[in-house]
Amino acid sequence: MHTMRRVLVVDDEENIRLVLRTLLKRAGYEVEVATNGEEAVEKFESFGPDVVLTDVRMPKMNGIDLLTALKAKGSLATLIVMSAYGSHDLAIEAMKAGAYDYVAKPFKPDEILLTLRKAEERETLRRENQKLREEIRKENKFDEILAKSAPMMEIFRTIGKIADYKTTVLVVGESGVGKELVARALHRRSIRANNPFVAINCGAIPENLLESELFGHRKGAFTDASADRRGLFEEASTGTLFLDEIGELPLALQVKLLRVLQEETIRRLGDTKDIKIDVRIVAATHRDLAAEVKAGRFREDLYYRLNVLPLPLPPLRDRKEDIPLLLDHFIARNNIRLGTQLRGISPEARKALIDYAWPGNVRELENTIERAMVLADSDLIHVQDLPERVREARDPVQMQLASGELSIKKTTRVIEEVLIRRALQKTKGNRTRAAEILEISHRALLYKLKDYLITDL
């Protein structure tokens, strides 16, 4: 079986058309012929060939014009030109214009078949590569969530598995790990995707307003209730309600929420009748809810009701493989947003960013990159563009001393390198002055720079 089955033969010589048609059909190809470029363009539309095998010198539209015309139509077909003695230059020109190969006339049948097979092989490779790239891209991205680390791959799989269920999901993780992104992905991957996604931060709204915000109210239910109002549960009807920072929900409302989850009905403030609701709840918290239960700040029954499907998101420091991916993503995105043209990050700065513990997780990383991009003097982010906490976290002397290493020689080298870097930083890279401060000769400094591979301040 050929992966490229359809061949369109274009030649003004009847004899050649005949020979090629017979030859290619016998070899298992589907063949159409055209006698000139214009006819070829027409046939191209109806036939949809994988390969166009065209003479280069033809009256009216020659092979190169044909090639250009097909390219303009967005054709992805492989183009092979045939050139007779004396039209060699045209063949070269055709190659420059994007032809894949050329065969010289007169040709032996085998030559044509071999060229076609080569083209097929290349096409197969190209498709495989493209598939591979797509797979990699897909694997590193789940909606808005970028990741490649094993624990996050597991999260992606889980989201896919549980998205369609109506069961409440509890997303747990430190601040800035991507809890909201996960909640959105759960919605987008569910059968509710085209229905509303409504989010509320339970910690950001005062208790007295939160209740009417969630459940709505009837006119006159309280002083300011001048009209009937739907709550977020109703807004989210047939969709998803994201209860962010559920750990901050006041105890009184915890009781009401539990009732809603159990009965799937709500009652507006000041109303007497219940309204049936169909809402999928996704809750999130950075708190340890089990501990909150123990401390009496969170109702145990609600905790068990929410915790049916817990989705714990690992902190960034436990999945450092994701950092390079996120760095490159944020740089590319900020280049567009800020109109900057940063090329990337110096190796040393990259290392510092990977080593840092990121207590604020992805959000902190995101902000750090944005700040560094604004500060950067060149088209690379350097260590000096990073905040002090990130730079200090990689203090090599502390790291060396903590390692338990007792070799004076090795430890001295670490200290020496730090001193040289500091001196260069202080003198803004002026080596003569740096050597003075370090109290070594200029030559010794140059030698040490090479020794320690210092190129970046």
Ligand X SMILES: Nc1ncnc2c1ncn2[C@@H]1O[C@H](COP(=O)(O)OP(=O)(O)OP(=O)(O)O)[C@@H](O)[C@H]1O
**What residue ranges bind ligand X (CB under 6 A)?**
144-147, 173, 175-181, 286, 326, 362-363, 366
State the minimum distance, in angstroms, from the CB of residue 171 to Mg ion. 9
Specify whether the CB–CB gap between 238 and 192 falls below 8 A: yes
State the minimum distance, in angstroms, from the CB of residue 232 to ligand X. 18
Q: Return the one option of Mg ion, ligand X, none that residue 178 interacts with (CB less than 5 to 8 A, by type).
A: ligand X
Among residues 236 and 362, whose Cβ is nearest to ligand X? Answer: 362
Count other C-beta atoms under 10 Å from residue 295's C-beta.
9
Question: Dihedral angle at the C-alpha atoms of 164, 169, 173, 175, nearest 10 degrees?
Answer: 90
User: Do the bridges between strand 275-276 and strand 265-266 make them parallel or antiparallel, or are there none, so unpaired?
Assistant: antiparallel
Write out the two tokens for 48: 């949809």
Q: Return the one option of ligand X, Mg ion, none that residue 263 interacts with (CB less than 5 to 8 A, by type).
A: none
Say whether the peptide bond before residue 106 is cis (omega within 30 degrees of 0): yes
Q: Return the one option of Mg ion, ligand X, none that residue 268 interacts with (CB less than 5 to 8 A, by type).
A: none
Q: Judged by CB under 5 A, does residue 180 bind Mg ion?
A: yes
State the minimum distance, in angstroms, from the CB of residue 173 to ligand X. 6
State the minimum distance, in angstroms, from the CB of residue 169 to Mg ion. 14
3-state secondary structure 47-72: HCCCEEEEECCCCCCCHHHHHHHHHH
Among residues 366 and 385, whose Cβ is nearest to Mg ion? Answer: 366
Among residues 155 and 420, whose Cβ is nearest to ligand X? Answer: 155
State the minimum distance, in angstroms, from the CB of residue 161 to ligand X. 19
Residue in the shown chain whose Cβ atom is closest to Mg ion = 180
The Cα–Cα gap between 97 and 7 comes to 20
Q: Scan for tokens 């065969």, then name that residue.
A: 103
The Cα–Cα gap between 245 and 283 comes to 7
Per CB under 5 A, which region of 3-11, 176-184, 331-339, 392-400 contacts Mg ion? 176-184
408 phi-psi bin (left φ>0, alpha ψ -120 to 50, beta other): alpha
The kind and range of the H/E element at 216 are strand 216-217
State the minimum distance, in angstroms, from the CB of residue 204 to ligand X. 10
Among residues 54 and 361, whose Cβ is nearest to Mg ion? Answer: 361
Among residues 90 and 283, whose Cβ is nearest to ligand X? Answer: 283
Q: Return the one option of ligand X, Mg ion, none that residue 286 interacts with (CB less than 5 to 8 A, by type).
A: ligand X
State the minimum distance, in angstroms, from the CB of residue 180 to ligand X. 3
Among residues 2 and 329, whose Cβ is nearest to ligand X? Answer: 329
Closest CA to 169 of 154, 153, 185: 185
The Cα–Cα gap between 53 and 39 comes to 14
The gap from C-alpha 113 to its chain's centroid, in whole angstroms, comes to 42
Per CB under 5 A, which region of 102-110, 125-133, 174-182, 309-317 contacts Mg ion? 174-182
Q: Which residue ranges make up the site for Mg ion (CB under 5 A)? A: 180
